Chain A
Amino acid sequence: MPITSITPLAATKPVVISATAESVYANARPKLLQIRTLLTAAGRQSTLGSGFLINAEGLAVTNYHVVSQYALEPATYRMEYAAPDGTRGALKLLAIDVANDLAVVQLDKTGYPFFEFNPRALDGSLPKGERLYAMGNPLDLGFTIVEGTYNSLVEKSYQDRIHFTGALNPGMSGGPTVSADGHIVGVNVAKQIGGELVSFLVPARFAMALIERAQKEPTRAWTSPEKTRLEISRQLFAWQADLYKNLGTQGFRPTAYGPYRAPEAVASWFTCWARTNAEQVPKPRAIINSTNCNTKTALFVANSLQTGSIELSHSYAKNGDLNAFQFAAFISQQFEIGWTGSGKKNLTQNQCVENFVAASAANRPPLRVVWCARALREYENLYNITVMAVTQDKSDEALISKLAMSGVGYDNALLIGKQFIGAIEIAKDSSGAAGSAVKK
């Protein structure tokens, strides 16, 4: 629909849909910032984002992804802010929170007006449908206010994110979203590509926590990229420790795949899709049913590195009229490690161990297991690890199970990997027939 179409109502009687937006923006205007990362050598902008002032000492909040280039390569980039009144100045990085995509920066001037946090947002008691106002500088077109609604936290998400129904555009990242009284509810962070007006905010409490942290440890050396990477490693490691602890505690639920039972994660933050080849033309000579579950937990670390997602899949193959060798060739096509993360720059080469693993109990099938791992080059203690198993008890059906973990600590991967492989079973009702075929 063209945006310029004028409704008869508007044409005849100029109705102000929301007078609040006017006053909210008027109040907020001096507290808003545009935050730019510039290539030092060229003096030109490299990325643009927004930010907002949070106290009289000139502390401001923005997204980590707005300042990441500077944080990682302080020798190549520098940061500056531009206020709506045209003043500009240098920024100092004070603290980052990679898991919540937040950063706290310090202006070179003090005494600006600043935002306050909405207490109802902090304790999570906002009603669904409450009107919110997102602000920022989209696409470098000038400061903007966008009206939208609060739709509580995103369901089936590991990270707490506010679902904001309103248009966020590139450049508004790091800008504030406020309630009608002008108090901070969240920080603009992302929108759903392929959705309409589906946008996400980082809840205000994370911003408040980071500010407290920044004030407690005020002089951090963000000028050393090595130290920054160490800090990011530390944050990522702590974050994945929680993630895998949560995953491990909730555990796996056995799900039937033909005569097998395979582990599916209980945690609600997995999105699963099923797929089959049964409808293929010409009719496939072996049937394969797959389930693929993944988490939307990937964190932005750098432009070329997003890490922290988990993917879990099971494919059950049942032979039609193929012989044993042909069926083995058929399941070989599914026996792929697949994507293990991008780039020689970020990751070491893949190293694998593989072997046949014997059945440890009557209800367990013998397996062939592959474990492939790459290390994140610049972030210590973190790895991309995939473990894959194929059942070896029958020559006319098989289950191929995969678990891919990115940005995981090695011990967590081992722990969850063992749990995952150990939960591949033969269902009890067919254990009599299958048990005799088990090769130990």
Chain B
Amino acid sequence: MIWVEILSRQHEVISRQRIDETTANATIRVGRAFDNDVVIDDAYIAPCHLVLARDQSTGWTVQDNGTVNGVFIENRGRNRKLASEPVAIADDSIIRIGKTLLRIRRIDLAVAAERALPVPVRHAWRWPVLFALAAIAIEMLSAWFGETGESKLSRYILTIITMLATTLVWSTVWSLVSRIFSGQAQFERHLFIALSGLLAMSALDEMIGASAFAFSSQWLVENQFIFNWLIAAIVLFFHLRVIGPAHLTLKAASVLLISSLAIATNMVGKSEAKSSGQTKYLRQLKPPMMRLIPAQTETAFFADAEKLKAKLNTARKEEKPDGGVFNFDFDD
């Protein structure tokens, strides 16, 4: 007795057929004609394409029945076309005839031990919900702190809806990608990753705003995009890891490459924006008690201001005026 499996391209079993070799006289015929033991509807297969035979010493042999397209044995990623003599096949070999994949299973093949069912996770939604609430809370607080006129409830609600909708769409897209490549949607895990990213970005935004004032550092605000892209890279990496645990180094490298490219593009954009005369200083004030660095003396401040003179004189010599054609001047 033996099982013949027909496999998909991804080597998943599509169908499985049991054949009693006693009735088949120790040979099994595979082909398109109805007098075969295994009948396959594949136009690239001969009426009788191959013959499987029991071999006393090696198990089973396979033989090409003189076909146009031949028989291939796929073994560990390699294809081998058979000559017309019988060839012994290993247990895990996959046979390709026409556009169909086949595999022979002996009945005494050892199978893996029974796997215990996963313990039902009762609080699978606890962290995503907590993270979502935390991200919403941060955004709401930030919107509220920025409120200087009339409060409008609709603005807060719209922010929440936008945040949640974006996260849901994002996670759904990743789930679909997961479903396509790994067969499992894993929506919960993708949602959790997306929410973690959202929370990290919201928290980072607030932290940078606060520390820029606390440490009087315009640099932090100007370069916030670096941190944002790093968070995005981490989020992307985890999404990719959920899809499949293979090639993690490659995935990490490509994600890092993408975020580096994005950071570089932003840097170039920033240096171009700078020449358009945008005044660079910290515009967002915070309550005075948020200051953490010691204040300068007036003398030290004006000494710093004095140092700008040399920089400006250099800029006067080096900067190229980019007045347009005919020296027309449209800006400001």
Contact = CB atoms under 8 A, between A and B. Distances in A.
Interface of A: 282, 284-286, 304, 322-333, 335-337, 339-358, 360, 366, 368-377, 380, 383, 387, 390, 392-395, 410, 414, 417-418, 421-422, 439-440
A311 to B, nearest CB: 15
A225 to B, nearest CB: 13
A323 B282 contact: no
* 6 A-B pairs with least C-beta separation: A358-B295, A325-B145, A345-B323, A356-B295, A324-B287, A375-B312
Interface string B265-288: 000000000111111111111111
Contact of B316 (A282, A348, A368): A348
A339 B332 contact: yes
A5 to B, nearest CB: 43
A370 B213 CA distance: 13
Contacts of B285: 328-329, 331-332, 335, 368, 390
Contacts of B246: none
A285 B149 contact: yes
B277 A369 contact: no
Given A329-B284, A342-B331, A421 B312 contact: no
B281 A375 contact: no
B145 A323 contact: yes
B296 A355 contact: yes
B288 A439 contact: yes
Contacts of B284: 328-329, 332
A230 to B, nearest CB: 14
| Chain B contact residues, majority secondary structure | loop
Interface in B11-54: none
Nearest to B144: A326
Given A286-B148, A353-B308, A328 B329 contact: no
B216 interface: yes
Interface stretch (B66-74, B107-115, B235-243, B298-306): B298-306
Given A331-B285, A375-B312, A357 B332 contact: no
A325 B140 CA distance: 13
Interface of B: 144-150, 216, 218, 274-289, 291, 293-298, 301-302, 304-309, 311-313, 315-316, 319, 321-323, 327, 329, 331-332
B315 A344 contact: no
Given A354-B218, A357-B296, A439-B288, A326 B148 contact: yes
13 contacts: A324-B289, A328-B284, A329-B145, A329-B284, A330-B148, A344-B323, A352-B279, A355-B301, A357-B301, A392-B291, A417-B302, A418-B298, A439-B288
Contacts of B144: 326
Contacts of B277: 340, 344, 347, 349-350
Contacts of B304: 353, 355, 371
A414 B295 contact: no
Contacts of B278: 350
Given A358-B297, A417-B302, A343 B331 contact: yes
A392 B331 contact: no
Contacts of A331: 285
B288 A392 contact: yes
A349 B274 contact: yes
Nearest to B149: A285
B146 A329 contact: yes
Contact of A343 (B147, B286, B302, B332): B332
Nearest to A396: B287
Given A354-B282, A377-B316, A422-B298, A393 B323 contact: no
B329 A354 contact: no
A324 B295 CA distance: 20
A366 B288 contact: yes
